[in-house]
Amino acid sequence: MSEATPDRPWLRFYEPGVPHTLRYPRASVQSLLDESAAQFGDRSAAVFFGAALSYRALHTLVHRFAGALHRLGVRPGDRVSLHLPNSPQFLIAYYGALRAGAVVVPFNPLYVEREIEHQLIDSGAEVAVTLNLFYPRLADVRPRTRVREIIVTSINAYFPPLLRWLYPLKAWREGHLVRVPRGRDVHRFSELLDADQPAPPEAIDPEQTALLLYSGGTTGTPKGVILSHRNLVCNVVQARAWFTGLRAGEDSILAVIPFFHSYGMTAAMNLAVSAGERLILLPRFQAEMVLGAIAAYKPRLFPGVPTLYTAIISHPHVSRYNLRSGMSCISGAAPLPVEVQTRFEQLTGGKLVEGYGLTEASPITHANPISGIRKMGSIGVPFPDTDARIVDGSGEHALPPGEVGELAVRGPQVMQGYWNQPAETAQMLRDGWLLTGDLAKMDTDGFFYIVDRKKEMIITGGLNVFPREVEEVLYAHPAVQEAAAIGVRDPYRGESVKAFVVLRQGARATADEIIEHCRRNLAPYKVPRAVEFRTQLPKSILRRVLMEEERAKS
């Protein structure tokens, strides 16, 4: 076992039972399900609004779905896109596509046509899996993409009493009335599963690409992050080692953070499946449903983001629920306020600690010890077999403790690169070190603290928004001459998007009109919540100046 060194001072703060280094199986992601199905066959793999799906049944359905993809012509290396919320269908499609040797490309199902089109074209996906609620958007962009087969699961078949809760009324009405045409290239999810024809076994190399997850990196232009089976399996092994209290085959994990996000995929879905745990699936955050799920299932683990925990402790009826589950929670994606951490632990009797990760690292690299020494305001220490350092502007020279620079990480979970983006890959990866784009510092004990973001990404409710993407939509409005987007403080979301707009001479537009234009072209969480009209905008370091102005107001 390795010991603490000047380069790894954090090792002495690992809590008992967490190894300094780990052994990683040469395994593919779907083999995690194979092992759990063999060991915990009758155990519930997932519970979805009271309906349970056992590991044995999930395993069978995954094999059937892989067979269906094979019959549709999917071969190793082909890309299959998933446009699904947390649900049994996501589990089946995700592990089924991997079993067929395909590369999974997850989408936020709330993406609008412009966003869907970009990722479908860039990834080259040929098969798409979606809910009927979202089918019209996919069908609209399909002629401009390589998608040749669409697999649709009916929302009516799974969510009849829940439609109004799951989605806004307008979306519910539109989705409920969607009529998906039958055809040779549009298939029903349930009918494909009815055909008991498993796919021929595929020999999958752990170094093979498993996933393309889109991230803005340091530039804000969405790029496909290439994650191999080994990347994902290693990060799951690291996470299992960190959660020393997780009992294989006995506990539950509350899955509210979306599986299309790298954090939800690793810290909830893959972690649960690898340990034979029961996933409590919620397709959308709604405070009463989360409170009810905690009270009913007493989850051992509840990964999330600060907005989730803030909403729970702030709920007016929180005292009506018995939340004393002793659960462990790692909060990621945004800074965790100390008062939220303290209040949440008082309510639940559990542990809520801050961690850190990014899509390019599968995603987890740091966390505070669950039961050991932790430091408020810190993202904690690196995971086993993960190195971290603070580097100067060149990205090559390490800085001493206490100095602020860019956080760089290295470990088996670090991505292979960006899809068809060699220049961007070279910018982010330097001799195995991943430059995160986050400004940070390390103390003498090896605990890390995020100070600022080198990249101007906005994190709202745990989801990433890249200013450039919002600005491109703003510039597309006929009345807009200049535009900028920044993140501003939001007591609930952490940050929300604010737009600054200069109108063309003689043109008129209201803030509501600008916001409605954005709503038609961006996913809801990317839409500006405030618009400020200016006669001119700063001409140098534009966003930094605007951010400083906003901070001065608060």
Pair 155, 131: CB distance under 8 Å: yes
Q: Name residue 150's beta-bridge partners.
A: 128, 186
CATH topology of domain 11-22+29-367: Rossmann fold (3.40.50)
| Omega before 363 within 30 of 0, i.e. cis | yes
pTM of the model: 0.85
Between 439 and 516, residue with greater pLDDT = 516
- Strands 79-83 and 103-106, by their bridges, are parallel
Measured CA to CA in angstroms, residue 174 lies from 169, 282, 363 at distances of 9, 22, 35
End-to-end CA separation in angstroms for the chain? 49
Beta pairing, strands 351-357 & 328-331? parallel
Residue 326, token pair as written in the block:
């002793």
CB 489 within 8 A of CB 459: no
Q: Which of the following CATH numbers is that of domain 458-553: 3.30.365.10, 3.40.50.2000, 3.90.550.10, 3.30.300.30?
A: 3.30.300.30
Q: What's the rounded Cα separation, in Å, for the pair 379 and 376?
A: 8
CB atoms within 10 A of CB 523: 19
pLDDT at 548: 67
219-229: buried (b, 16+ CB within 10 Å) or exposed (e) per residue? ebbbbbbbbbb
Reported as a single tens digit per residue, the pLDDT across 172-230 is 444 444 567 777 899 999 999 988 787 777 789 999 999 999 986 555 568 999 999 99
Q: Is 509 strand, coil or helix?
A: coil
| 3-state SS string for 340-408 | HHHHHHHHHCCEEEEEEECHHHCCEEEECCCCCCCCCCCCEEECCCCEEEEECCCCCCECCCCCCEEEE
* Summary mean pLDDT of the chain: 88
528 three-class SS = coil
- Provide the 10 A C-beta neighbour count for residue 311: 19
8 A C-beta contact, residue 527 and residue 518: yes
Structure tokens at 545: 């100046």
User: What residues contact 551, with CB distance under 8 A and at least 6 apart?
Assistant: none
Helices and strands: H and E segment counts in the chain: 19, 26
Tokens representing residue 18 in the block: 């967490």
pLDDT (tens digit, 9 = 90+) per residue, 387-412? 999 999 888 899 999 998 999 999 99
Distance from C-alpha of 48 to C-alpha of 34, rounded to nearest angstrom: 21
DSSP 8-class letter at 447: -
pLDDT tens sequence across 49-93 = 888 999 999 999 999 999 999 999 999 999 999 999 999 999 999
In our burial notation (b when 16+ CB lie closer than 10 A, e otherwise), range 123-142 reads bbbbbbbbbbbbbebbbebb
Q: Which two tokens stand for residue 238?
A: 């690291």
In CATH, what class is 386-453?
mainly beta
DSSP 8-class letter at 259: T
280, 299 contact by CB (below 8 A): yes
**Token pair for 172:** 């519910």
Contact 239, 35 (CB under 8 A): no
Map residue 262 onto helix, strand or coil: helix
pLDDT digit string (tens) for 4-58?
Answer: 677 899 999 999 999 999 999 999 999 999 999 999 999 999 999 888 999 999 9
Of the candidates 476, 467, 463, 477, the residue with the CA atom closest to the CA atom of residue 218: 467
CA dihedral (342, 348, 349, 353) positive or negative:
negative
Separation CA 551–CA 554 (nearest Å): 5
Cα–Cα distance for residue pair 58/514, rounded to 1 Å: 46
Mean pLDDT of 337-360: 89
Q: Answer whether residue 335 shows pLDDT above 90.
A: no
Maximum CA extent, the chain: 71
Q: Domain extents for the chain?
A: 11-22+29-367, 386-453, 458-553
Predicted pLDDT at 326: 81
So what's the pLDDT on residue 80?
98
Confidence of residue 545 (pLDDT cuts 50, 70, 90): low
The answer to whether residues 448 and 441 touch, using CB atoms and an 8 Å cutoff, is yes
- Beta-strand ranges (E) seen in 405-504 are 405-410, 417-418, 429-430, 433-442, 448-453, 458-460, 463-465, 480-490, 494-503
Tell me, what DSSP letter sits at residue 266? I
Q: How high is the pLDDT of residue 457?
A: 77
pLDDT at position 218: 55
C-alpha to C-alpha distance for 98 and 343, rounded to whole angstroms: 41
- pLDDT band at residue 164 under the 50/70/90 scheme: very low
